């Protein structure tokens, strides 16, 4: 089942994507849906019979969580490319911070390039998990009970800011700037993804493949990640990212040629989920005025 948040006629709706359109569910928003229980168990009684046909709605960010657990360092290949690029610090598993949920944008929404803050805008394709149930202090063997769905996350990063942050062995601002958190295009429930470690992953910029990998390349499993951070406490509808794969611009042989710029279009694709597409636009295009004076953050 694919669950989406849409806008139609100036109103937001949560619904089930089906052939030809979306059936609207009787629920205020996606987080409220997950708070009612596993979507596979509760959507039946929430169906309204109202259908909004394709072409009559716009996809929005599927969910705005209470908490967004941003984890990193879980793919060996990304750690290895960081070593080759002589990155500031080694990239190891068990990196975590809380993402700025106000930075979340949906499919086709523009990523605004803040030219006054960064000259090194990068992409990171990630698989993210939607938490189905509240919980804490559970084991990896119990983690499957807490998975309510999967979604694509594009972890937009200002590498020059991140490099300075990591001199103190910490980073957050570089990944949390307004519009730096594309999420979507919809949520796919676990019954359609029986093995989340068997998914092809690809990110393209202007049609050119940049990241081509597989979710089986993690050095730790999704269930281990969920269990590891469970002492922090999950709420139903929370989002947890699982880290990126190799092929980021900042660790390439010629980063300047690969960094994002206004006019670029990013397509982040994960097998069995779909494609999350977002254009990059300038500050001028977004705000109708030039960017503020350049600052060294």
Q: Output the tens digit of pLDDT for each of the chain's 297 residues.
A: 999 999 999 999 999 999 999 999 999 999 999 999 989 899 999 999 999 999 999 999 999 999 999 998 888 888 788 888 778 777 778 889 999 999 999 999 999 999 999 999 999 999 999 999 999 999 999 999 999 999 999 999 999 999 998 887 778 999 999 999 999 999 999 999 999 999 999 999 999 999 999 999 999 999 999 999 999 999 999 999 999 999 999 999 999 999 999 999 999 999 999 999 999 999 999 999 999 999 887
How many folded domains does the chain comprise?
2
CA–CA gap between residue 206 and residue 201 (Å, rounded): 17
Return the pLDDT at 13. 98
Instruction: Give SS3 for 158.
Output: strand
Compute the chain's Rg from CA coordinates. Answer: 19
**Selection from 155, 175, 249, 254 nearest residue 205 by Cα:** 249
Q: Are 30 and 12 in contact (CB under 8 A)?
A: no
For residues 45 and 145, membership in a common domain is answered with no
Answer with the one of 39, 59, 79 that is the final residue of a domain: 59
Please identify, among 59, 91, 106, the residue that sits at the C-terminal boundary of a domain.
59
pLDDT on residue 85: 78
Confirm whether 146 is domain-assigned: yes
**173 and 141 in a common domain:** yes
User: What was the pLDDT predicted at 91?
Assistant: 79
> What CATH code is carried by the domain that includes residue 237?
3.90.850.10
Instruction: Give CA–CA dist 118/46, Å, rounded.
Output: 45
């Amino acid at each position: 089942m694919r669950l989406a948040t849409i806008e139609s006629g100036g109103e937001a709706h949560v619904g089930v994507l089906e052939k030809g359109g979306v059936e609207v569910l009787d629920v205020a928003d996606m987080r409220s849906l997950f708070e009612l229980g596993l979507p596979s168990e509760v959507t039946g009684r929430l169906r309204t019979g109202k259908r909004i046909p394709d072409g009559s709605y716009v996809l929005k960010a599927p969910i705005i969580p209470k908490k967004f657990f941003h984890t990193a360092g879980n793919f060996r290949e990304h750690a290895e490319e960081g070593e080759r690029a002589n990155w500031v610090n080694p990239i190891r598993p068990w990196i975590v911070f809380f993402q700025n949920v106000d930075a979340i944008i949906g499919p086709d929404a523009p990523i605004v390039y803040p030219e006054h803050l960064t000259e090194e805008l990068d992409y990171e394709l990630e698989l993210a998990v939607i938490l189905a149930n509240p919980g804490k202090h559970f084991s990896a063997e119990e983690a499957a009970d807490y998975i309510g769905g999967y979604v694509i996350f594009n972890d937009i990063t200002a590498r020059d800011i991140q490099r300075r942050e990591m001199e103190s062995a910490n980073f957050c601002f570089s990944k949390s700037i307004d519009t730096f958190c594309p999420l979507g295009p919809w949520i796919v429930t676990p019954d359609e993804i029986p093995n989340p470690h068997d998914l092809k992953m690809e990110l393209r910029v202007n049609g050119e493949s940049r990241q081509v990998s597989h979710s089986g390349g993690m050095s730790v499993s999704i269930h281990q990640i969920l269990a590891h951070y469970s002492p922090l406490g999950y709420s139903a509808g929370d989002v947890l990212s699982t880290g990126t794969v190799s092929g980021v611009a900042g660790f390439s042989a010629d980063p300047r040629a690969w960094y994002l710029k206004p006019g670029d279009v990013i397509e982040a694709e994960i097998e069995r989920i779909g494609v999350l597409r977002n254009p990059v636009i300038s500050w001028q295009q977004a705000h109708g005025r030039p960017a503020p004076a350049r600052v060294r953050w």
